[in-house]
A and B are shown apart, each in its own frame.
Chain A
């Protein structure tokens, strides 16, 4: 197991957002969190990456407890977060964004090799290398957000809403890339996604969140057969 979360409770002030969340992420898999707005997907990812602190519960990454570590320490363990809404540094160039991506010491030493490799995965970024990140299109920005995370040499990638605000065709391209990461880069991926159809298509295992609880879980191929899931999340 890459990531094991056990009965996690997270609060914003007095409001409880996550209740007794437990989940597992297998090595080399794509695991998806689906659920409506406000179900706690983003909160969960933020808690894993150390931006939020849980009230109780544990998060074990490769058998190591990571609750209580600072975000930058978690990055050094190889868990990289691609935040919702891309969150690039718009006034810095594509190159500078990638440079900041390889902030940690190990990744910095291999910056050149990594850059070359990642630009072959995302050739569009090569053309845009010295352009300001803010001038890229939505799809390009999402690619850059993922590429920036890859520069840190992740072993577990947390991707929040990669389809947010993108045209259907672009969503397909982004997901093609996400699948490539799993297959050729052997990166474990945990993604939060409202676009349930897409999430089922790419992932191995799916957790359904509602109002901060895991209400359903299962292998993507099995869960998609479920009558209720089909009706509520896929509209079929």
Chain B
């Protein structure tokens, strides 16, 4: 780690330069997919905080994404609130939803937690459909105002939204990196590995579990808000099971329990599903097969595989421990 940290910084800078240069190609289609990839990468990284670091398998995670998106949408359409504030409040609403799910789920582990979070996702989905006097039900909400520009920058243009999302993405990844490599992150890993032992050394595990739910769902809500003001249309499918599975696939494909892995998963899946657009009906089938194959053959995901085989052949890397504990 220490020896290669200079190398890592070089890779990161190279990657950022590539990201910055992409819009110069002027290919609107690629820019569009990249923006969606950034949003999904943020979402997947936030989920990884729960799945990878805390070892809680969450199945209905798209619900938080949808809560963020709808909150921001409804506030900006009905009250005329600035979408910027809406995005932040979307994060807060999602965080409150995270608390509503997290507190009762404190005592649950493994498959029980997975099933109850799945239930939570279904509840949000059904609420979005049935509260049609607020959400317009399955029709969804069109004509969402875009993020207002600041000074010379106009965020209704695709290129400037690209740079905005790139910036947000880098900031959030940096925060997650700091968080997971700090004492806080170690405590999460300790709880994942052995909850009773964590209690035995005096860690207030409930406090940490609740706080990590709040952080994760806040980020998910924010990414939902950015999605809503970019696509400018939301519908209840944002909270569907297939959306949740897609996010989870990104985490597992890229490598759970790593900061960068879920992003790799997000970029791969976003581009692959574009290429496989003719097979759209089989999306869930493909994702499901993918998850099974990854867990069977590459439990550390793409990132874990790369680290293990290319970077550190001898020593076991800290980052490849991303197995989902149940």
Q: Restricting to B196-233, which residues have a CB under 8 Å from any CB of A?
A: 196-204
Binding site for B on A (CB under 8 A): 49-51, 70-72, 75-76, 80-83, 87-92, 96, 99-101, 103-104, 132, 135, 148-149, 152
Contact of A148 with B186 at beta-carbon distance under 8 Å, contacts A51-B196, A90-B193 already known? no
The reply to whether B199 and A71 contact each other, CB–CB distance below 8 Å, is yes
B194 at the interface (CB under 8 A from A): yes
The reply to whether A96 and B202 contact each other, CB–CB distance below 8 Å, is no
Binding site for A on B (CB under 8 A): 183, 186-187, 189-190, 193-194, 196-204, 316, 318, 321
Contact of A92 with B203 at beta-carbon distance under 8 Å, contacts A100-B187, A132-B316 already known? no
**Set of chain A residues within 8 Å of B183, measured between Cβ atoms:** 99
Question: What's the minimum C-beta distance from A72 to chain B, rounded to whole angstroms?
Answer: 4
Contact of A103 with B202 at beta-carbon distance under 8 Å, contacts A51-B196, A89-B193, A91-B321 already known? yes
Question: What's the minimum C-beta distance from B314 to chain A, rounded to whole angstroms?
Answer: 13
CA distance A171 to B290 in the complex (A): 47
The reply to whether A87 and B197 contact each other, CB–CB distance below 8 Å, is yes
Question: What's the minimum C-beta distance from A118 to chain B, rounded to whole angstroms?
Answer: 14
Given contacts A83-B200, A132-B316, A149-B200, 6 further A-B contacts (CB under 8 A): A71-B200, A72-B202, A72-B204, A88-B194, A91-B189, A100-B186
Question: What's the minimum C-beta distance from B42 to chain A, rounded to whole angstroms?
Answer: 26
**Set of chain B residues within 8 Å of A90, measured between Cβ atoms:** 193
The reply to whether A70 and B204 contact each other, CB–CB distance below 8 Å, is yes
CA distance A75 to B204 in the complex (A): 10
Contact of A103 with B193 at beta-carbon distance under 8 Å, contacts A92-B186, A132-B316 already known? no
19 contacts across the A-B interface (CB closer than 8 A): A49-B200, A51-B200, A71-B200, A72-B202, A72-B204, A89-B193, A90-B193, A92-B186, A92-B189, A99-B183, A99-B186, A100-B203, A103-B201, A103-B202, A103-B203, A104-B202, A132-B316, A149-B200, A152-B201
Question: What's the minimum C-beta distance from B197 to chain A, rounded to whole angstroms?
Answer: 4
**Set of chain A residues within 8 Å of B189, measured between Cβ atoms:** 89, 91-92
Question: What's the minimum C-beta distance from A79 to chain B, rounded to whole angstroms?
Answer: 10
The reply to whether A75 and B193 contact each other, CB–CB distance below 8 Å, is no
CA distance A170 to B197 in the complex (A): 23
CA distance A157 to B177 in the complex (A): 36
The reply to whether A80 and B186 contact each other, CB–CB distance below 8 Å, is no
Contact of A100 with B201 at beta-carbon distance under 8 Å, contacts A89-B190, A92-B190 already known? yes
**Set of chain A residues within 8 Å of B201, measured between Cβ atoms:** 75, 80, 100-101, 103, 148-149, 152
Which residue in chain B gives the minimum CB-CB distance to A107? B202
**Set of chain B residues within 8 Å of A76, measured between Cβ atoms:** 202
CA distance A96 to B200 in the complex (A): 15
**Set of chain B residues within 8 Å of A91, measured between Cβ atoms:** 189, 193, 318, 321
CA distance A51 to B316 in the complex (A): 33
CA distance A89 to B203 in the complex (A): 13
Which residue in chain A gives the minimum CB-CB distance to B321? A91
Question: What's the minimum C-beta distance from A12 to chain B, rounded to whole angstroms?
Answer: 15
Question: What's the minimum C-beta distance from A222 to chain B, rounded to whole angstroms?
Answer: 33
CA distance A199 to B237 in the complex (A): 63
Question: What's the minimum C-beta distance from B20 to chain A, rounded to whole angstroms?
Answer: 35
Which residue in chain B gives the minimum CB-CB distance to A70? B204
Question: What's the minimum C-beta distance from B1 to chain A, rounded to whole angstroms?
Answer: 10
